[in-house]
Amino acid sequence: MGEMFDWVGFLFQALAIGFVVVVGAFAAVALMMFIADRSQTEDAVRRNYPVIGRFRHIFTELGEFFRQYFFAMDREELPFNRAQRDWIGRATKGKDSTIAFGSTRPLGIPGTPIFTNAAFPPIDGQFCETRPVTIGAGCLQPYVATSIINISGMSYGALSRPAIEALSKGAKEAGIWMNTGEGGLSPYHLSGGADIVFQIGTAKYGVRDAEGNLSDEKLREVAAHNQVRMFEIKLAQGAKPGKGGILPAEKVNAEIAAIRGIPEGKSSISPNRHVEVDDFDDLLDLIDRVRRVTGKPTGFKTVIGDPADFEAFFEVLAKRGPDAAPDFITIDGGEGGTGASPMPLMDLVGMSIREALPRVADMIEKAGMKDRIRLIASGKLVNPGDVAWALAAGADFVTSARGFMFSLGCIQALKCNKNTCPTGITTHDPRFQKGLVPEDKYRKVARYAQHLTKEVETIAHSVGVLEPRQLRRRHVRIVQPDGRTMSMGELWPGVGNH
Domain assignment present for residue 78? The answer is no
Same domain, 218 and 351: yes
Domain assignment present for residue 77? The answer is no
User: Counting runs of H as helices and runs of E as strands, what totals does the chain give?
Assistant: 17, 15
Q: What is the pTM of this model?
A: 0.83
Domain assignment present for residue 131? The answer is yes
Same domain, 318 and 392: yes
Same domain, 154 and 44: no
Question: Tell me, what CATH number does 369's domain have?
Answer: 3.20.20.70
Same domain, 55 and 139: no
Helix%, strand%, coil% for the chain, nearest 5: 45, 15, 40
Q: How far is 213 from 219, CA to CA, in rounded Å?
A: 12
Per-residue pLDDT of the chain (498 residues; tens, 9 = 90+): 445 556 666 677 777 888 888 888 888 888 888 888 888 887 777 778 788 877 777 666 666 666 565 545 555 555 666 667 676 777 777 766 666 666 667 787 898 999 999 998 888 777 777 789 999 999 999 999 999 999 999 988 888 899 999 999 999 999 999 999 998 999 999 999 999 999 999 999 999 988 889 999 999 999 999 999 999 999 987 666 666 777 777 778 888 888 887 888 888 778 888 999 999 999 999 999 999 999 999 999 999 988 998 999 999 999 999 999 999 999 998 776 665 566 666 666 778 899 999 999 999 999 999 999 999 999 889 899 999 999 999 999 999 988 898 888 887 766 676 777 888 888 888 888 888 888 989 999 999 999 999 999 999 999 999 999 999 999 999 999 999 999 999 998 875 455
Same domain, 49 and 134: no
Cα–Cα distances (Å) from 160 to 12, 21, 76, 188, in that order, read 53, 46, 30, 10
Same domain, 60 and 153: no
End residue of a domain, out of 29, 44, 71: 71
CA 296 to chain CA centroid, Å, is: 25
Same domain, 304 and 381: yes
Same domain, 295 and 204: yes
Domain assignment present for residue 93? The answer is no
End residue of a domain, out of 36, 55, 71: 71
Cβ neighbours of residue 421 closer than 8 Å, sequence gap 6 or more: 160, 413, 415, 427, 432
Same domain, 265 and 392: yes
Cβ–Cβ contacts within 10 Å for residue 254, how many?
Answer: 9
CA 84 to chain CA centroid, Å, is: 14
- For residues 129 and 467, the answer to whether their CB atoms sit within 8 Å is yes
Same domain, 16 and 131: no
Domain assignment present for residue 80? The answer is no
Q: How far is 108 from 487, CA to CA, in rounded Å?
A: 15
Number of structural domains (the chain) is 2
Q: How far is 102 from 90, CA to CA, in rounded Å?
A: 18
Closest CA to 498 of 350, 361, 403, 345: 361
Same domain, 33 and 147: no
CA angle 430–163–142, rounded 5-degree value: 145
Same domain, 315 and 169: yes
Which phi-psi region, left, alpha or beta, contains residue 463 (left: φ > 0; alpha: ψ -120 to 50)?
alpha
Domain assignment present for residue 91? The answer is no
At residue 1, the pLDDT reads 47
Residue at 32: amino acid letter: M
Q: How far is 348 from 245, CA to CA, in rounded Å?
A: 18
Domain assignment present for residue 436? The answer is yes
At residue 115, the pLDDT reads 94
Q: How far is 347 from 238, CA to CA, in rounded Å?
A: 10
End residue of a domain, out of 71, 93, 113: 71
Cβ neighbours of residue 371 closer than 8 Å, sequence gap 6 or more: none
At residue 496, the pLDDT reads 46
Domain that holds residue 31: 2-71
